[in-house]
Structure 1
Amino acid sequence: MAPTPHLPTPSTGRLKRAAALGAASATLAARSLTVTDTQKVTLGVIAAYVVIIAILWNVPYVRWSLWPFKMLVIAFHEFGHALAAVLTGGKVKSISLDPNEGGVTHMLGGKAGITLPAGYLGSSLIGALLTFCGFDIVASKVASIVLGVCFLLTLWWARRDWLTIVTVLLAVGLIIACWFIAHAAALRFVVLFIGVMSSLYSVWDICDDLILRKVNSSDASVFAKRYGGSSQCWGVVWSIISLLFMAAGIVAGIAAFPQSWSDQENDSKKFIPTR
């Protein structure tokens, strides 16, 4: 009588499959946490951006070199208010920017508990997403398209404010020009700079207005009057959230985009090629 072949029991098979999946997950996690040479350069660029922005922010006269980007980030801030108002049932009447680095969104309705922090946190979230996309050329192209849609909405809401219109059009011109430089390789660093600038501006703006100078006419002061606490307290909370957004964008970029420079360039040539 022929011997009966040994077959693994269902429980043994499940254990083996679970072990294989666990090993694959561990390998993927280890690979995701490994910083490639290309990502090391990107992280170095981010660090350099932080230092450069910090210096230009505080040195007299040369600080004006950041002014166009500050106005762009303020536009993100106001766009955050406007989008939150629309999503919570409100209506946006207009958006305007001020040459003295201010802005205002006139809106009716909406949920104040969401629209008030949406300016600071919205610009921080946009900054984190742009930082994430700045790790890859194709992702930067996608981000620039999304930014274009946001810019069109901002232009619609700010169609009577010349400064907002000029700021947005200059930003659009810069982004379009970068599409044609080395298969959009330059676009990646512009998107990365705008992302870092947006994230840092949100934190510094919160600290400067609410913690250091204790300005009373701010989003946080209105939020504190309606929902309790102090503007300084909410400033600290929103600053921490903004920094967490930025850190999450960097970590996600490392995990999602391990491709080398050459791989990114080849992928870019296949995604809406410019030359």
Structure 2
Amino acid sequence: MQTASGAKLDKGRVALLLVFLGLGWFFWDSPLLRPVKLLVVMMHESGHAIASLIVGGSVDKITLKADESGACFSMLPPGVLRQVIVFSAGYLGSAVMGAVLLLATFRFRLRRLVLGAACVWLAVMGLLYARDMFTLAFCLGTSVVLGLAAKFLPEGAVEVVNLFLAAFTALYALFDFRSDLWDSRVRDISDAALLSQQTWVPAIIWAVIWTLMGVSLLGWAAYKSMHADPRSPQMRMPPLSSARRS
């Protein structure tokens, strides 16, 4: 398959993406995936924190819990627009991170830099905003793991790790939209409900807006990432046998 610009579909990337999506779906409730789920929860809360700082507010703390819940406590200046930006930055933040992982790894070939940036991000967020031992231990421990992976894994294995993280982040973001925004019992206590109290726009409308934006962004990023850019040297995913040996 080829786009109008000449970019060709990379079947190896598509196959691995589908495999990781399938594994994530099948083993969704496995405790082995809990650290990755907590990583995406941290992306969600980091989205709130970064947005709070951008609009001129301050962040008191970020907390994660073993049950995969999290919270960002921040102070914001008055203003409806600021509220909209900060409350929207949670669910959309994890979708943005999934898109960034895909594009940075496969469109812009920033393979080790992706894991290195994630390592620094977790360490900074943990040291600045973690106020409990669980959150701090998770942030620093995961930061060390990602840093070691960035430095010592073979190039092909780095790509596989990045694709797995991107696929799972995207899947978790989609599940978040479904469970938090489209289950009326959960939506009533979600960010959408909190924002509806500030704007008088019903929570279901915010659910529609965030879902459309998140799904569109992830779909666009996946499409771009799964096509090789004809203007740059061809980059192919390693064979599955090679990935296993890594």
TM-score tier, shorter chain, comes to 0.7 to 0.9
- What is the deviation of 1:128? 0.7
Residues in 2 aligned to 1:67 and 1:107: alpha-carbon distance in whole angstroms: 26
Instruction: Write out aligned runs for 1:58-97 (5 A).
Output: 58=29, 63-97=30-64
The gaps in structure 1 that reach 5 residues or longer are 1-26, 264-275
Q: Choose which of 157, 163, 166 in structure 2 pairs with 1:186.
A: 157
Query: Tell me, what secondary structure is at the counterpart of 1:226?
Result: helix
8 Å contact from structure 2 (residues 59, 129) kept in 1 = no
**Counterparts of 1:24-35 in structure 2 under 5 Å?**
29-32=4-7, 34-35=8-9
CA positional deviation for 1:231: 2.2
What is the alpha-carbon distance in structure 2 between the residues aligned to residue 228 and residue 258 of structure 1?
51
**What TM-score comes out, normalization by structure 1 length?**
0.75
1:1-275 map, 5 Å? 29-32=4-7, 34-35=8-9, 39-58=10-29, 63-110=30-77, 111-135=82-106, 138-179=109-150, 180-182=152-154, 184-215=155-186, 216-253=188-225, 254-256=227-229, 259-261=234-236
Amino acid at match of 1:99: A
Q: Residue 28 of structure 1: CA displacement? A: 9.1
Runs of 4 or more, structure 1, over 6 Å off, are none
What is the alpha-carbon distance in structure 1 between the residues aligned to residue 102 and residue 96 of structure 2?
10
Larger Rg: 1
User: How many correspondences in the alignment?
Assistant: 228
Other structure's SS at 1:208 match: helix
Q: CA deviation at 1:259?
A: 1.9
Q: What displacement does 1:29 show?
A: 4.0
Give the fraction of aligned pairs with identical amino acids, expressed as a percent: 25
Unaligned runs of 5+ in 2: 239-246
Aligned counterparts of 1:245 and 1:163: Cα–Cα separation in 2: 32
Higher relative contact order (CA 8 A, sep 6+): 2
* CA contact 2:61–2:129 (8 Å) conserved in 1: yes
Between 191-200 and 67-76, the greater mean CA deviation after superposition:
191-200
Q: Match of 1:145, as an amino acid?
A: G
User: Secondary structure in 2 aligned to 1:134?
Assistant: helix
Contact 2:119–2:142 (Cα < 8 Å) also in 1: no
**Inter-CA distance 262–42: structure 2 relative to 1 (3 Å threshold):** closer
Distance 1:161 1:115, change over 3 A: same
